[in-house]
């Protein structure tokens, strides 16, 4: 009787077998890892899409004020500038010419610079998101040698989709640069080390994304609105 009963017992479910339990355990672990990875990828995508904007557009991180000595060092560097060093509003910008958020933000910043030209001093710093931007950053500094940084700056952002060394050399002629000097500067890598050092400086002061601005030491990250930037400036001007 016992043999008959054993032979007619239903087969044991696979998930109750030791090997089945192991498979289920491994599958659960894989699913959890995949879910965590997916969340991280989505967050990184959002950071890239918004230019890493961890703050509300146009707001400053009042809990993150750059040390005054470091901020002053960024202001006295030989980088491209706009306005007078004695201006009430001092802005240090870290940007990358290949950055889509920088492209989105630059018209607003340029309009603000023009509107507040008597009250604003801007210092531009290169912060490379990738090696692909190296020559573009060098081109800006080569143009700065001839006092034409901002015209080339604007053209590179306006034509970001077709940025190339060949096109930049054409634009250099368009804005009236001495192209022999400019091309030699760019081809010889005169500012290769300067661009790398600028990026390292950005890392040292806490830059992670572009654009990142330090407005009188207060940190603003991402492609904020023109209205938001003006609100920050007006608040600082009003507190003087």
Evaluate the CA torsion angle 97, 100, 101, 106 in order and state its sign.
positive
pLDDT tens digits for 85-136? 999 999 999 999 999 999 999 999 999 999 999 999 999 999 999 999 999 9
Instruction: State pLDDT tens for residues 37-74.
Output: 665 554 444 444 434 433 333 444 445 688 888 899 99
Residue 147 pLDDT > 70, yes or no? yes
pLDDT reported for residue 13: 65
User: How much of the chain, in percent, has pLDDT values that exceed 70?
Assistant: 80
Domain at 56-238, CATH class = alpha beta
pTM, to two decimals: 0.73
List Cα–Cα distances, 113 to 27, 73, 143, in angstroms: 56, 21, 19
The reported pLDDT for the residue numbered 221 is 87
pLDDT given for residue 11 in this prediction? 61
What gap in Å lies between CA 164 and CA 203, rounded to an integer?
26
**Angle value at C-alpha 81, between 145 and 174, nearest 5 degrees:** 50
pLDDT at residue 138 greater than cutoff 50: yes
Per-residue pLDDT tens over the stretch 9-26 = 556 666 667 776 778 777
Spell out the residues 6+ positions from residue 136 whose beta carbon is closer than 8 angstroms to its own.
97, 98, 156, 163, 168
Confidence of residue 222 (pLDDT cuts 50, 70, 90): confident
Q: In what order do the strands lie in the sheet with 61-65?
A: 61-65, 218-221, 212-215, 89-95, 120-126, 81-83
pLDDT number for residue 68: 87
How much is the mean pLDDT over the chain? Answer: 84
Greater pLDDT, 60 or 206: 206
Q: Looking at residue 231, what is its pLDDT?
A: 87
């Amino acid at each position: 009787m016992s043999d008959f009963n054993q032979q007619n017992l239903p087969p044991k479910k696979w998930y109750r077998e030791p090997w089945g339990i192991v498979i289920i355990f491994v599958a659960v672990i894989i699913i959890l890892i995949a879910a965590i990875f997916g969340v991280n990828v989505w967050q990184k995508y959002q950071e890239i899409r918004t230019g890493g904007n961890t703050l509300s557009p146009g707001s400053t991180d009042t809990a993150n004020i750059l040390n005054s000595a470091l901020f002053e060092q960024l202001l006295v560097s030989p980088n491209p500038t706009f306005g007078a060093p004695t201006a009430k509003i001092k802005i240090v910008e870290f940007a990358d010419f290949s950055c889509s958020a920088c492209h989105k933000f630059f018209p607003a910043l340029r309009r603000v610079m023009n509107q507040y030209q008597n009250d604003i001093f801007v210092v531009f710093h290169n912060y490379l998101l990738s090696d692909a931007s190296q020559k573009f950053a060098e081109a800006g500094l080569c143009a700065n040698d001839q006092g034409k940084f901002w015209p080339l700056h604007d053209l590179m952002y306006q034509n970001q989709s077709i940025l190339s060394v060949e096109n930049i050399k054409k634009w250099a002629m368009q804005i009236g640069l001495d192209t022999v000097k400019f091309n030699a500067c760019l081809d010889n890598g005169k500012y290769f080390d300067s661009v790398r050092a600028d990026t390292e400086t950005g890392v040292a002061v806490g830059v992670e994304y572009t654009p990142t601005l330090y407005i009188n030491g207060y940190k603003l990250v991402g492609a904020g609105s023109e209205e938001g930037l003006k609100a920050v400036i007006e608040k600082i001007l009003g507190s003087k």
